[in-house]
Chain A
Amino acid sequence: MFDVLLHILRTGRLTEPLQESADAAPVVSSVQKDLLAILGRALCIRHVDAGSCNGCELEIQALTNPYYNLEGEGIHFVASPRHADLLLVTGPVSVNMEEALRRTYDAMPDPKLVMAVGDCGACGGIFGASYASRGGVASVLPVNHTVSGCPPSPSAILTGILHTVRTTLA
C-alpha cells in the first residue's frame, strides 16, 4: 500500500490543459463551464464501434488517461445508450453492424447527438462502400459532426466533442 501511495505521489498530477489548436489559449477551464451551462450536468457518451479497425478505439480510450483526464472535465462514457447524450461512432458501418448501430441510436433519449470519428466514420476511409460496408456513418444515421483522421488524436476527438455540444445544443 505504501508503495502505491508513494508511486502516486511521485507521478504527480499530469493532466494537461486542452488546446484547440497549437497557438490558441488553453480552453480547459471553459469545458466544464460550457457543459454545465448547456447541459447542467456531465456530458454522457456512448461509443459504438460500427466496424472500425480498432485504431480509433485506442485513441478514444486514451482520452481517459491522466494526460487528457476526460472525466475530470465532466465528460463521462456510459454503458447504456439510454443514459447517453452523444453517440460516438467509429469505423465504416459494416453491414453486419448496421442493425445494432440503428438500435443503439433508437434507444437514446432526445435530443441525441451523433459524432462520427475517423476517416472511416467520415467517408468509409480505405474500406469505402462495398457488399460488406455502408461507408461513412452518415449513410446510416444523421451525423452532427465529424472528426477525420486515421486515427484522429485524442485532442482532436475531445475538441470535436466540445464543438458538437456547443454548436448543436447551445
Chain B
Amino acid sequence: MMHMWPEFLKDRRIPLAANLPARRISVDNSQQWLDAARVLRASEAQLLTMWGADDRDRDGCFRIYSAYLLPHDLLVVEHVIEETSTPAYPSLATLFPAAERMQRGIHDLLGFATDDPDTRNWLRHGGWPESLFPLRRDVDAEQYPVVSEPYPFVLVEGDGVHEIAVGPVHAGTIEPGHFRFSVVGEKVLRLEERLGYTHKGVAKRFEGLSQTSGHQLAARLSGDSAVAFSWAYCAALESIAEIRCSARALTLRALALEHERIANHLGDLGALGNDAGFAFGLTQFSRLKEDLLRTNVRVFGARYLFDFVVPGGVAVDLPEDGYGLLVDFYFTLQHAVAELRTIYDEHDGLQDRFRESGRLEQSVAQKLGATGLVGRASGIAQDLRVDHPFAPYDQLEPNLIVQPKGDVAARVQVRFDEVFESIRLCHALLREVPSGPIQQTFAPAAAGRLGIGLIEGWRGPVMIALEAGAEGTIRRCHAHDPSWQNWPLLEYAILDNIVPDFPLINKSFNLSYSGQDG
C-alpha cells in the first residue's frame, strides 16, 4: 500500500497515542484532504468516523478530522480550516458514503460546510437558531424555544405510491426516530430515516467534565454499550496519560465487555423470535438475559455495568466465589442456548421469516462501509478483537464469526455463534486471571494531547477521540457509535421487502439511536 501514497504524504505520518497502532497526518490544504481520502478508498481503508473542532482560541483555526481503519493500523487525517464566515472542506461522501450524515451532523454543531448536495440539517431539528453552532467555543449551552421546521423527505412519485410515516414515538419500549416509507401496496420502494431526536449535546457536555469523570458520560452515550464506550474512553485517556492498566484490570474489562455482548445478543435473539411470531423465544431468551444480569450483580456489583470501567482500571474486583459462580453460569447458559438454537433452526415458520428477509448483499455492504455485526453477517470479515487485538485479546486468539448471506437469518446466526464464542473467551479469561491491583492512580494527560480508544463493542467498533485540556480538563471529546455506518444500510436492506417485515429486519440490525444522535 505504501507505494500508493502521493509524494506530499510520504513520511508525514507521525505516531498517535491509542490502544492499537495508530498514526496521524496533517494535510496542508483541501486538495490533499481529498487526495488522502482517494488513496485510502483505493486501499480499502474503512472510514471509522469524522469530527470537527473549534481551535480559534488556540491558533485562530477550525479543524476537521477523519479516522480510517487500515489492515495494520488506524490513521487520523487532520485538516486545518481557516476561519471565514462559512468554514468549508471537501465532502468525503462520494468516496465514503457513510461520511454524509456525519458531515451533516458536524455542520449542525460547528457550522462547517461541504460541497455535498444534501444540506439538510441532521442533528438540529429547530431546537436552536440556525445561525448558532453549539460546539463552537464562544457559544454557551443556553436554551432556546423549539421552532418546528419542515424536513423535506425525498418524494417517491408514481401510480399508487403512498407514504407511511412512523415515529419519532414508536409503538413499544424503544428509542425514538422517524421512518418514512414510500410503498406500493405492501412493498417498500424507499425508506428514509430521520434521526437526531435523542441528541443531548454530549460533545458539549464532555467539555465541562474532568478527564477522570468523562468515562461516566461515555458509558451513557448508548446504554446497551456502556462497557464498550467507557473502555474506549479510558483507553484513549490512558494512552495520552501514558499509563498501562494492570493485566488483572484488563482481564476484568474484557469479561465485562463479553458479558455486555452476550446480554445484548440474548435480548436480540428473543426479540427476533417474537417479531416473527414465536413468543416462546422471547420468554426463554429474556429469562436467560435476566439470569446474566443477576450474575452481573453478584460478580460486578450491578446489572448494567455503567460505572465498572474507570480510568486506570476497574471499580470492582472479582469476588472470591466469582470464579466458580461464573463457570457454573457459563455452563448452564451454553447448554440452554444450544437447545434453543436447535429449536430456532428447526422451526420452519421462524426460518421462513428469517431467510431472505432484509438482505444486505456483500457488495453493497462493502461499498457503503458496513461495520461490526451487521457487516460480519454480510460477509465482511472484520472484528477489532481479531484484526487489531487490543490487550487482553492479544492473548486470547478470538475466532472471527462471519456469515455470507446478509439476511435476517445470517444476523441471527452471527449472534448465536458470537454468544458461544464469547462464552469460550470468558472461560479462557477466567482460567488465568492475573494477580495485581485493579486500579491505579495517575497524573492527568498534558494539555493538547490527542488520544484514541477503539473497542469492539457488541454492535461493532466504538471509538473515542479525546483531546486533553489544561489541568486535567477535557478540551474536546468525540464519541463514535458504529450505528452511524449501519443506519443507512437498513434503508437498503428493506428495499423490495414488505412493510410488515420491517420490525423484524430493523431488530436484526438493532442499531442505536442515542449513540448516533449524541
- Please list the residues of chain A having a beta carbon within 8 angstroms of any beta carbon in chain B: 3-4, 7-8, 11, 14, 47-62, 64-67, 77, 79-80, 91-92, 94-100, 104, 125-134, 150-151, 153
Contact = CB atoms under 8 A, between A and B. Distances in A.
Given A61-B173, A94-B198, A131-B201, A66 B293 contact: no
B416 interface: no
Size class of the B contact interface (CB-based, 8 Å): 35 or more
A126 B224 contact: no
B226 A57 contact: no
Among A8, A95, A129, residue most surrounded by chain B Cβ atoms (within 10 Å): A95
Nearest to A48: B169
B146 A153 contact: no
Contacts, number: 172
A87 to B, nearest CB: 11
Interface in B286-305: 286-287, 289-290, 293, 303-304
29 contacts: A4-B280, A7-B284, A7-B343, A48-B176, A49-B173, A51-B198, A52-B198, A53-B514, A55-B304, A59-B303, A62-B289, A77-B172, A79-B172, A91-B198, A91-B200, A95-B127, A97-B168, A97-B176, A100-B168, A126-B216, A127-B201, A127-B202, A127-B220, A128-B205, A130-B204, A130-B205, A131-B139, A131-B141, A133-B201
A8 B287 CA distance: 12
- Majority-rule SS of B interface residues: loop
Given A95-B128, A126-B216, A151-B304, A57 B173 contact: yes
Contacts of B216: 126
A34 to B, nearest CB: 23
Nearest to A132: B201
B143 A134 contact: yes
Given A97-B168, A125-B220, A62 B286 contact: yes
Contacts of B293: 62
Contact of A58 (B139, B172, B304): B304
Interface string B457-480: 000000000000000000000000
B404 interface: no
A94 B197 contact: yes
B146 A53 contact: no
A126 B213 CA distance: 10
A129 B143 contact: yes
Interface of B: 123, 125, 127-128, 132, 134, 139, 141-144, 146, 148, 168-169, 171-176, 196-202, 204-205, 216-217, 220-224, 226, 267, 280, 283-284, 286-287, 289-290, 293, 303-304, 306, 339-340, 342-343, 346, 512-514, 517
B300 to A, nearest CB: 15
- The 6 A-B residue pairs whose C-beta atoms are closest, nearest first, are A55-B223, A95-B127, A132-B201, A79-B171, A65-B286, A130-B141
A99 B169 CA distance: 11
A158 to B, nearest CB: 14
A131 B284 contact: no
B169 A65 contact: no
B339 A7 contact: yes
A50 B217 CA distance: 18
A49 B287 contact: no
A150 B305 CA distance: 10
A62 B289 CA distance: 9
Given A4-B280, A54-B222, A126-B217, A60 B173 contact: yes
A131 B126 CA distance: 11
Contacts of A96: 123, 125, 127, 146, 196-199, 517
B194 to A, nearest CB: 10
A130 B143 contact: yes
A119 B125 CA distance: 25
A67 B224 CA distance: 21
Contact of B143 (A65, A66, A131): A131
Contact of B220 (A7, A49, A95, A126): A126
B197 A53 contact: no
Nearest to B168: A100
